Amino acid sequence: MFATGYVPEQASTLAEDFESGHAPTAEMLQKLAQESGCNILGGGMHKVKGGYANRVILYTPDENSGKFYYDKTHPFFPEQNEFVAGNETKIFSVQNFAIAPFICYDLRFSDGFHKARANGAQAFTVQAAWPAVRNEHWEILLKARAIESQAYIMAVNCVSADGTYAGNSQIISPEGTCIAKAKSGIEQVVQGEISLDFLKQFRKDFPQQVI
């Protein structure tokens, strides 16, 4: 919901049809992916039968742009009346990395991460509107998901002028080490390098049972 802010109570006026590719947010993300040559994960409130889905879509520079998506499987309390929960974990292939996307409240439920890891996920993305008052949970859960799954975590969180949301976007290694992190309360770009070779070697050197 980066284009609107976390306002699920306004879904009736802010929701878009992301499948058509002609919604304002979808068009902007498709254009940005093509112009930058980058793969972009973004989305918002998508109209579905019976309500809305909190959806993230993969936009690419090529003809596959907008074809792969994930719907949040654990709607947060303000979403539960009108939002339809997704029913499956998704894995996208991006530059030879198997990436499973998750959204905000999903982070509190390890089962989806375990399933994605068992299905071959090597990295997770988490897009969130996580309030500053629970930032310690954000920090601990991100590292826990990285460590228990031996996977990279690329997590982005919003920042608000009133301090309700403090960001703290970050990239975490399969060892649980923070590779890069945004300064608290400041909107900024976070960059870091992830290595498929390192991940494979780490899993080989420290094998663990995949549930």
Strands (E), the chain: 40-48, 51-59, 68-71, 92-94, 97-103, 123-128, 152-157, 170-172, 178-181
Indicate if the pLDDT at residue 211 is higher than 70: no
Indicate if the pLDDT at residue 20 is higher than 70: yes
Whether the predicted model's global pTM rises above the 0.85 cut = yes
Domain boundaries, the chain: 1-88, 91-203
- Parallel, antiparallel, or unpaired: how do β-strands 97-103 and 68-71 relate? unpaired
**pLDDT tens-place string over residues 88-138:** 999 999 999 999 999 999 999 999 999 999 999 999 999 999 999 999 999
Res 159: pLDDT: 95
CA distance 135 to 89: 25
CATH node for 91-203: 3.60.110.10
**pLDDT tens-place string over residues 133-171:** 999 999 999 999 999 999 999 999 999 999 999 999 999
As a dihedral over the C-alpha atoms of residue 191, residue 195, residue 200, residue 201, rounded to 10 degrees, the angle is -110
